[in-house]
Structure formats: C-alpha cells, structure tokens
Structure 1
C-alpha cells in the first residue's frame, strides 16, 4: 500500500518535470524547488508535534513519539506563496489516504515564539532558515501492512520565497545483529548465535577482539594499555541529578578504548545493537541510562567523557545512551562500557573494555560445570585456589574447595584425562623452580588419587617452572598470577 502511495505521488509531481535527486521516494519536491538541507538517519526516535501548547506561556507541544527511518529535507521555493504550497501538500496527502493528525494555519499556530518552536521540531538542526512568517503546519500518518508512515511539514515565508521543512518517518524493523560479541575471545561460547556483521578484516583487526564495531563506523581515536586502572561510571539517575561526581567501579586490568563515528544511523539504533549483543553473550547489565535519564547536557557530556579515549565527546552528547555490562570468566571479570550520542546526522560511540586479571577463586571452587566448559573450549584451565607452603610442595588445607571442584569434575566425567601442570614465578634459580613446579603438580595428583579415588592413569603431572607466565613477573600481582596449577585436557589414551 505504501508503494502505491509513493507511485501516486510520483505521478502527480513528475508531470511537472522535476529532478528527483535526494528526494524521499514518497514525496518529491515542488516545482523549481532547491534542496537547502537533507538528512537521513536509520532507526531514529522522532517527536512529531500533534497539537499546540495548552497556553502561550509554554512551549510544551503534545507530540507523538515514533521510531523509524527518518528523512528530512529543507526546500526553497520561489514564486509561490506558503498558502498555495501548503494546500498542495495537504491535498496530495489526503488524496493518497493519509490521516491528518493535526494542522494549523497562520495565527492559529500560536505566537511568534511558539511558531518558531513548532517549526524547529521539524527543521534539521532546529534551523528554520528564516521561514517563520506566514506559517502553516501539518502532521499526518498512513497505516499499511508494512507499518505506519508519518509525515510532518512546516511551510513558511513571504515575498514569493517559501521554505518547506519536511520530515518523513518510515517504518523500520529492528536491526539488532549488527554488533558481534565474540565470546570465543573469553574462551566461552555465546548462548545465542549472532549474525556476522559486514565488517572488513582490516577494520576488525583494529577493533577489540571481544566487541566488533557497528558496520560503517570509522575510528576517530583508540587507546590501549596492557595494565591500567580505570574508573568505570555506574551512576543511577538520582546520583546523576546531583552533579558530575558519578558512582564508579575502580577496575584494574587490560584497557582498550575506542572512539567511533558513524553517519546516517541514530544513537538509538546503535545502542539497541550493543544491548542485544551483550544480552546474547550473557553479560550482566550493571547499569544503563537513556536520553534524559542520563542527566542534563552537562552531565551527559561528562559521563561520555569518562569513557572516551580523548576524555571528550565534543558535540556528541545529544540523544545519549549508556550501558555497562559484566561477564565472569575463570581468568577474571570482563567489563564493557558504551556511551552513544549524536550531533546532526552523525553518531559517535565511546567504547571501553576492561579485562581484569584477578582469578575468581570462589567461582572455580564451587562451579565444576564452568571448569569443564573452560576445558572443552580452551583445552586448559588455571586453578588459583590450590595453595602451597612457601618453596614447598605441601598442599595446604585451604586448597580443599578447589580440589573438591576438580575431584567432582573428574568423578562426573569418567572419560576425562588431564595433564596437571605446575607453574611458578621467575624469582629464584630456574632449575629450582622447575623441580618445585613438578613436585607441586605431583602432590596435586596424589591428593586427587588418595582423597577422591581418581584413577592415577587418568592424570599426568608435569612442571614447567617460569616458562609459561600469564602475567608480568615484574609486579607482585603478576607473580601471584604466575604461581598456579593448570589443568590441560589430554586426548584419551
């Protein structure tokens, strides 16, 4: 039905010999019109005025909030009155079966302040281009099987020079598979398959391995640190309204930040794709805010700046969305923070990924299923809950929860065979560390055989000393992570 309407309009206007470059397929430009401004934004939230304020003291227009693909034009027409042009539009829309939601003419559109505010809601960048005199306005809609099309028109001008501000919102399906969260990077599988975005290999190589970019974006700035502290904002609405001191998570780990830019796509569309991708990858959403819930303009700008690699979102704080997600892994929680804002027809994404390196000992101790998943998908799993006396191979009593977890796994998975590999830090002589790591691995095997009844043939102990670090030995935190026992899945012998 919408396609027939488009053809009706094309037939009416094409008899006037009009060039159709940049026009909307539904409504072509009037005779002799010049395009002053043009904007296309995919999947945008748009507030279409459908009435006037209750009194002249306010600018609170009743609006109908619609979401779809937004196309806006500003046309200049010479040699025609605003009345003649308005009546032509109204007649054509009515003939095509559109329902009039609201219209006003001249003084009925309010005082000068209200007229300017009304037109600004349709005009690109709220710039009326001097067209507030002799104003006319209408809002209309048309329903079909494909969805509802909404049209807003503001016409104004004098002395034979008229400007038309035209907005068309087409129905648009949700497109929520354009960002990919690659949980194989975390050595775990996504719960729901996500469609592969159309991103080149060269572009993907500059993204974070975990989170792909929104297709069509370009990188304005990027920052990476192997080991860094980062205060990740997680403020609630009430806290935001108090000022610019946001509640934060003080995280330490590998830090990667991106500043992406994208033309012709709304901040809403980008945000909903990030939200869907994180949900599909089973991230826990720690905090999110949308539009006014992200605070006033100063607060939204400050919020985005804390995530941005440039510490500045510039003009991209309008129509803001923000969310923080967390996913637990055996090597430590991974956090993703995303701030999305727009300016004119450009949307910017501030993205931060923090991979913390603290092992979640309790998680390992109480969750054999996650331990099995790590072995199945990565082939190995580090166990930090097994403790030894300093420079000794004696397994300490506080190791029992971790041993219980491994023992339960081996009991339930009767075909599973493992290498039990001991690791040390790089302090002390290499020969000593190799012998110590081997002795510790053998001690763990002995406890599994003696305390849990595991067949010794299923386990093979080995020690590699300092040869396979997982962190930097120059720091105490790094050395602590390197002192570990690792389980490696063996092929069935």
Structure 2
C-alpha cells in the first residue's frame, strides 16, 4: 500500500523530515490554495487573469478524443513542480494530493493511476496528450516534459476536482508523472471562476427543473429585494417568470418558498426578514402571475441554513437567497 504523508493539506503547512531545499524559478508564486509536496521545486508557471479552459472529466473515447468535458473560463494558474530524489515515487505524491483535496471537500470528478501509462483512462499517456492539446502551454519550459519521459520513466496519475466557494467555483486538475527514476513531475492547473455579479444572472425554467430533479430544491438567482426590506425589485421579474413557466409545465408539483438571510444583525430580525421575503415572492407569483395560492407555502429560516461562511461579504451575499423546495 502506498504511503500517505501525515499533515498533507491544501491550506496548511506540509511536514516532512528533512525536505530538500526548494530552488524555484524566478518570480514563482505558490498558489494560496495548494501548498507543494515537501521537497518539490517550482520549475515552470503561468498565471493568466482570464482565459477559456477545458476540463476533461472522462476517458479517451476515440482517436485523440475525450467524450466528457466541462468548458469553463477564469483566472488560470498552471504550476509545474519537480521532485528530485528516490525517497518518494509518483503514486505516493499523487495519493497525498488526492487525499488533501478530498479532505478539503472537493468533489472528485474523475481520477486514474497507471503504472505503465497505457490505456484510455484518466491519467494515461493518451488522456494527457488530448488534455494538453485542448489546453496548450502558452510558454515554453520544463512542464513540456509531462508527456515525454525518459528511458527510466514510470507511471502516472491524474485527477480532476471542483468545489463551489463563496468567491466562485474553482476547478483543479492534477497530473503526476514518474519522469525518471529520481524525478517526479507534478502539473497543477487551477481555474478560478468569479461569482456572477448580483443582478446579472437569473434562473431559467430549465435550470429550475434540473436542480429540482437532482437536489429537490433550487436557488432562485435573480430574485432581488430593496436593502433590508422585503420589497421585490423589478429586476426579479425574469426569475419569477421562470418559476411560473416551470410550474405551468408541471401542474402536479407544489412548493415551499424559503427565505434565507446572512447572520448580520439579530436572529429575530433575520428570521422576520426571511419570512417576509418568502411571503413577498409567493404574493407576487399569486397576484401578478396567476399561480394558484394553494400550490405555494412561504417560510423563513433566517441565518439557520448558510451555504458559505458569514465571515466574508462574498459568503454573506451567497447566503442571502430565496429557494424553491419541492413539497410532497
């Protein structure tokens, strides 16, 4: 069984007895979300504030083809680490990174570990070549050795992970390869997608149906109120219309409309505000859009069900929301 280093984590210092001194390239920046495997050096890096990026989430399905992709865009940080030595191999480094991301609550969308790099699964040579062809390096450097190897090279592994944060979704792709007997290379690509600005995105009927099917609830993006009030703003009409469209298409479904707030202020105030806001949504759907009142029940839960920490403004903004919850 491969060894896991104690203490390996994404946002905490890594511990390892007598780590090799790091000899990073000039101007290299350690991404604050991921700290390196002990003894590794940054040998190549690019940071682009905005670029499209394709995340491969499935195996190779044909000639130079991967069937499953997630197309995204945002700030892209690509960092290549070199571990020089024979104390650890590619699989141990791969498993430590994988466990660290799992422990931090990332959803692992796909993973694979191969001792000979053959086949079509995630982590094989074929998969890496197609993945890099879709996301080519924008400058030359040591990262270009990822798909090469030497006569003493060994296996490789890769995994794809994602997590929804208050500041926006983040995607991570980690590739680890035994480049030579005493050289393990690790390429970590991080794509940070900024959260949408309030008021620019509203839910549509298709999204409502998809989230209700998968989760039994949907956040009604685009529902907006006046500051510290339950007065619906005109910008909420598109989201309200999407609810009506879905309800007309599914006359057998009934719903709770649930208001949520952040944790600023007293509990009693937030509980009352969330109840009033949920009631305002129901009233608008009934009186302005013709939805039967018996199909909707409003409730407020104040700050009791946060989706992110209330410490940051980004987290508080995501916690202030109205949800549609399917009612049996």
Alpha carbons of structure 1 residues 482 and 327: separation in structure 2 relative to 1, 3 Å: closer
1:363-418 deviation digits (Å, cap 9, x = unpaired) = 96353222211112111122231111111110001112221222211121111211
Cα contact 1:423–1:463 (8 A) shared by 2: yes
Counterpart for residue 260 of structure 1: 94
Q: Paired residue for 1:377? A: 214
Superposed, which structure 2 residues align to 1:168-183 within 5 Å?
none
Identify the structure with the greater helix proportion: 1
1:332 to 1:341, Cα distance in 2 relative to 1, 3 A: same
3-state SS, counterpart of residue 94 of structure 2: strand
Aligned residue number for residue 244 of structure 2:
407
Structure 1 residue 343: deviation in Å? 2.5
Instruction: Give the match for residue 164 of structure 1.
Output: none
- Which residue number in structure 1 is paired with residue 10 of structure 2? 224
Asked if the contact 2:286–2:292 (Cα under 8 Å) also holds between the matched residues in 1, the reply is yes
CA distance, structure 2, for counterparts of residue 263 and residue 286 of structure 1: 20
CA deviations on 1:333-370 (whole Å, 9 max, x unpaired) are: 45232324223479766566778683687896353222
Q: Does 1:298 align with 2:134?
A: no
> Separation in 2 of the partners of 1:490 and 1:300?
54
Across the aligned residues of Structure 1 and Structure 2, the Cα RMSD in angstroms comes to 4.9
2:286 paired with 1:449 = yes
Match of 2:276 among 418, 435, 439: 439
Give 1 or 2 for the bigger CA radius of gyration.
Answer: 1
Whole-angstrom CA distance in 2 between matches of 1:269 and 1:294: 26
Q: Which has the higher contact order (CA 8 A, sep 6+)?
A: 2
Q: Does 1:338 align with 2:174?
A: yes
Structure 2: segments with no counterpart, 5+ residues: 13-30, 35-43, 51-73, 77-91, 96-112
Alpha carbons of structure 1 residues 263 and 402: separation in structure 2 relative to 1, 3 Å: closer
Give the conservation status (yes or no) of the 8 Å contact 1:380–1:488.
yes
CA distance in 2, matches of 1:217, 1:349: 17
Q: Which runs of 5+ in 1 are unaligned?
A: 1-215, 232-242, 253-257, 305-315
| Partner deviation per Cα, 1:32-71 (whole Å, 9 max, x = no partner) | xxxxxxxxxxxxxxxxxxxxxxxxxxxxxxxxxxxxxxxx
Aligned residues: 238
Matched-pair contact (CA < 8 Å) for 1:325–1:335: yes
* Residues 1:433 and 1:326: Cα distance change in structure 2 (over 3 Å): closer
Task: Give the whole-Å Cα distance in 2 for the aligned partners of 1:337 and 1:362.
Answer: 31
Q: Could you say what secondary structure the match of 1:469 adopts?
A: coil
- Look up the SS of the partner of 1:224 in the other structure: coil
TM-score normalised to the size of structure 1? Answer: 0.39
1:422, 1:441 within 8 Å by CA — same for their partners in 2?
yes
- Cα contact 1:424–1:483 (8 A) shared by 2: yes
SS at match of 1:462: strand
Q: TM-score, normalised by structure 2?
A: 0.56
Please state how far the C-alpha of 1:259 moved relative to its aligned partner: 4.0
**2:311 alignment counterpart:** 474
Look up the match of 1:88: none
C-alpha separation in 1, matches of 2:246 and 2:201? 11
Provide the rounded CA distance (Å) in 1 between the counterparts of 2:269 and 2:220. Answer: 22
Cα distance change on mapping 1:320 and 1:487 into 2, 3 Å = same
Correspondence 1:270-281 to 2 at 5 A: 271=122
